Amino acid sequence: GAGVAIGVPRVFREPILRGDRFDPAVFVLRLRKMSDRAQSKESNDVAARQATDLAILAGSSEEGVPDLERYLDQLRARSHPEFGGLPLAGFQVNAIRDWRMLQVIGKLGEFDAPFQKWMQSPLVDWTFGGIYQQAEQVDYGAVELDKRATLSAEFVAVLAGYARQTGDGRMEALARDQWKQVQLEFVREDRIVPWVSTLRSPLNRSARLGLTPDPLGRLTHEQTALGLEVGTNPQLIPRWTNPQDGEQWLTALQALRKQELPAKTRASESAYLSSTALFVTSILEARRYLGESDSTTAVNLWAYVKAFEAGPDSVTHRRGEGKPPRRTLLDRAAYILAACEVGTHTGNEGMMRRAVAVFRQTRREFAPVYGAAVADPRLPETLAIDKPDVVDGLQEASLPLFVRASTRLSMLLPDAERKAVRDELRKQLGRESLRVDEAGQRLAGRYRAWWRLQSPLGYLIVGPDPQRWRDELGRDPAGPPLLWVKSWPDLAPGIYVVRDDVREGPFTSLASLTEVQP
């Protein structure tokens, strides 16, 4: 008929065109229907993929064992001889989880040269705190000026741990400075923001400081100290230049901060449990490595995590989420890990009881058929539950994180339950490892979790404030996990040495612990 466009499918056209009049309401309705159809198809595809994955896991009696030496060999191969860092696919990535993993197993010293070069690169935002996501070139050219809260807080923990392991006073001063700056950058009155992005000026420079090079190339002493030489640092990102006088460098940096131009950053409007809880955990771990239990900061930061609690044994995925909440293993793991770290600074028994309740509920939801971290598909909303993953993305992979959280929390569980949990997690992590092609993957979380399961000793302190014990036992990033609770049923005050199926103690002095070291 008249006005019919050639090739337009009639089924699509007719509800939209009424005669020659366009009806926006009908058009929107039609689009919604198409969107619903597409989402339904996607859900079915996800369900089919999930069913296949679950069949593999359920039918597999095989278990893989993560090969730590192979991982270390891959890191050695990735390490760049000239520019340092651990580039992947031609990008200088932040590699913070790899540095953390090396620190936890006491091997960061072997990688000190690439680590130091990375520390002196423009990937670190010493000025405002934290680390940028990545640079597009191995020589750190074209740094992307976006930062994530979790990775930036983990960077502070790595710095504090490095200061602890090396006794380097300059690094300790940097760690303390970054500890403050990272909180200023990401902590708001009502939430911890997951990411902050800096607006760019021409030549991909940060608009936040508005730095421009001197036309004659003249540099002040402070500019030289901060590496603001346009030839080697075209984006003019203030750098750690490994100066002899670290104090003078820090003073120059603090002066630069005062030049910040307003409204040159964007931050996420949302708040998510996983990024909030992991941020809190790393910030408090850094405090512990510096030898300072900090109950005030711990209580203040826990309020941000507590906002996601839902009922006696559940949590929500994001703020303001409707009911029922989306269930993800990552959220549960992050919540439990934060509770353990906050608990170690405060000794709060009620908080730890709730963390145990969340843990047991998570096992009920995720463990009845397929093992520690796979949801039972017979549960409602199974599609909303992430399947286990051992490859790190923007967040650490969910299964390794759950393994670390559970290993630490399980020190409070009865011996038989603790052993069952840890055996189940070893089996699950082993099975998952069979499904991963190791080459070029981000697997630091998986290796860190496996390392923790293979070194199952931990310290549980019960009783009134034992500050000296905590400061001594909690300072080494490569040390066993630590937990403190002011009281716990059936446990007398003292230090307990906890393994898979036995809890020795209570010991009443650090000296008496030497008898039970592994």
> pLDDT (tens digit, 9 = 90+) per residue, 234-255?
999 999 998 888 899 999 999 9
The DSSP secondary-structure symbol of 208 reads T
Cα dihedral sign, 149-280-226-78: negative
Name which of 51, 50, 53, 133 is nearest 91 in CA terms.
Answer: 133
- The pLDDT of residue 40 is above 70: no
Task: Check residues 49 and 105 and name the one with the higher pLDDT.
Answer: 105
Quickly tell me which residue has 């908080």 as its tokens.
351
- The pLDDT of residue 368 is above 90: no
The DSSP secondary-structure symbol of 279 reads H
Structure confidence at residue 346 (pLDDT):
95
Structure confidence at residue 322 (pLDDT):
64
Residue 215, token pair as written in the block: 């036309």
Phi/psi of residue 320, nearest 5 degrees = 75, 20
Amino acid at 355: A
- What's the whole-number mean pLDDT along residues 10-25? 49
- The pLDDT of residue 184 is above 70: yes
Most confident of 145-159, 195-209, 243-257: 145-159
> Strand 482-485 and strand 458-462: pairing?
parallel
Cα–Cα dist 74/166, whole Å: 25
Give 3-state DSSP helix, strand, coil % of the chain, rounded to 5.
50, 10, 40
Residue 314, token pair as written in the block: 């559940």
Phi/psi of residue 19, nearest 5 degrees = 65, -125
Structure confidence at residue 497 (pLDDT):
96
- The pLDDT of residue 508 is above 80: yes
- The answer to whether 470 and 460 have CB atoms below 8 angstroms apart is no
Contacts of 11 (CB under 8 A, 6+ apart): none
Cα dihedral sign, 376-382-387-393: negative
Phi/psi of residue 314, nearest 5 degrees = -140, 170
Residue 308, token pair as written in the block: 């996601």
Task: Check residues 30 and 405 and name the one with the higher pLDDT.
Answer: 405
Cis upstream peptide for 122 (omega within 30°): no
- The pLDDT of residue 17 is above 50: no
Determine the distance from the C-alpha atom of residue 472 to the mean position of all C-alpha atoms in its chain, rounded to a whole number.
25
Structure confidence at residue 13 (pLDDT):
39
pLDDT band at 50; cut points 50, 70, 90: low
* Number of alpha helices (DSSP H) and beta strands (DSSP E) in the chain: 17, 15
- What's the whole-number mean pLDDT along residues 74-90? 91
Structure confidence at residue 518 (pLDDT):
53
- Secondary structure (DSSP) of 11-53: HHHTTTEETTEE-HHHHHHHHHHHHHHHHHHHHHHHHHHHHHH
pLDDT band at 258; cut points 50, 70, 90: very high
Window from 303-307, 360-364, 420-424, 439-443 with minimum mean pLDDT = 439-443
- The pLDDT of residue 62 is above 60: no
pLDDT band at 10; cut points 50, 70, 90: very low
- pTM, two decimals, is 0.85
Window from 230-234, 337-341, 441-445 with minimum mean pLDDT = 441-445
**pLDDT tens, position by position, 388-439:** 677 787 788 888 999 999 999 999 999 999 999 999 898 888 877 776 666 5
Cα–Cα dist 42/472, whole Å: 52
Structure confidence at residue 285 (pLDDT):
97
Cα–Cα dist 421/372, whole Å: 8
Please, what is the angle between helix 273-289 and helix 295-306, to 10°? 170
Cis upstream peptide for 202 (omega within 30°): no
Structure confidence at residue 51 (pLDDT):
55
Structure confidence at residue 459 (pLDDT):
96
**pLDDT tens, position by position, 450-490:** 999 988 799 999 998 778 888 889 999 999 999 999 999 99
**pLDDT tens, position by position, 107-120:** 999 999 999 999 99
